[in-house]
Amino acid sequence: MNKKKFIEFLKENWQNIIIVGIISLWVFLDIFSVWENISFIKDRRFSITVMIITTVMMLLVYHIFKIKEIFGEQNKTLNDKIDEVNKSFGEQNNILNTKIDNINTSFKEQNSILLNDIIYDFSILLEKCKQLTPHVFRDITEVYKYITKKIKNAEISIDDITWGSYTKCRSVNDQKEYDDFIIAMKTACQNSNLCYREVSSLSDEPYLSRSESLFEFDNYNLKYYNIKDTNIPLSSYIMIDKEEVILGFIKEKNNPILKNNITFLSTKDPDFIQLYSNYFDSLWEKGRKIKENDYIDYEKIKNIRDSFGN
């Protein structure tokens, strides 16, 4: 042990050295009865003993406080470390909570997207179900009102089949809705982007005059079938933009059952649309041309009008 280390040892352990020295001296003097040979010590043996014990106790108390001080420092260091750990734990907890919040937010967003997708898919499915489910009308007045609305919103094409005449069958309310329907027809024919094709039997003057009122429009086209001698029940219908067909008009002579029990309906079912579209195209191909673009068969119109008197 060098001198420097020895000095550091004395500085760190001087209390212990003093205590050990005093106790050792006291024991040495007592063992060898030194007290008996020294009159000064002999007369004051009790006082010296008390003084030594007091000194030792004071040193012990000092030592105890020193230990408490050291313990306090260690405890403070430990508390600081605990605080650091708590702080670090708090930061990690905050990071964890942030990640949890991000996960919850992401989950809510994904859940919202999924819910919107489900709602959208359900709405598409519902719309398709509506298209596949025919809409049944209460009476012909409702039919005229519905057709008028659809014709006003038509954008591409209107394919119209008119068999026979319903002029004498209309009530006052029916006639009012029918007049609105005629106005809508004329408005649709003014749309240069729309093609209006009508197949008609032109069965009486009102229907012939109705068609003639549309001849001024190039996009109105008309073909004719003579069904005067036909007893086969025929169904009239109108198809809008090849997306919806409204039908239910049945033409048959002297049949009150049909007159009072006709079901009017509309459908957007693609299969039905294709069926009625093909049927209309077939009729259109084989019909007698009365009006197409700027062509008009005035001679045939005269013949048809003349036939009304027979």
Same domain, 125 and 138: no
Same domain, 119 and 213: no
pLDDT at 256 over 60: no
- Domain region containing 202: 134-307
The residue among 133, 156, 180 that closes a domain is 133
Same domain, 49 and 112: yes
How many separate domains does the chain show?
Answer: 2
Radius of gyration of the chain (CA): 57
Bridge partner residues of 244 (DSSP) = 240
Same domain, 101 and 214: no
Distance CA 122, CA 65 (A): 81
Distance CA 206, CA 204 (A): 6
pLDDT at 187 over 90: yes
Same domain, 121 and 3: yes
Same domain, 224 and 239: yes
The residue-averaged pLDDT of 150-171 equals 86
According to DSSP, residue 216 is labeled: T
The residue among 133, 165, 182 that closes a domain is 133
Same domain, 152 and 269: yes
pLDDT at 107 over 80: no
Q: Tell me: the pLDDT tens digits for 258-295? A: 445 567 889 988 888 999 999 999 999 999 999 998 99
Nearest one of 195, 189, 188, 224 to 302, comparing CA atoms? 224
CATH number for 270:
3.30.870.10
The residue among 85, 117, 133 that closes a domain is 133
Q: Tell me: the pLDDT tens digits for 44-67? A: 556 666 666 777 676 666 666 666
- Band the pLDDT of 197: cuts 50, 70, 90: very high
Task: List CB contacts of 25: < 8 A, sequence separation 6 or more.
Answer: none
Same domain, 298 and 263: yes
Nearest one of 236, 249, 247, 221 to 157, comparing CA atoms? 221
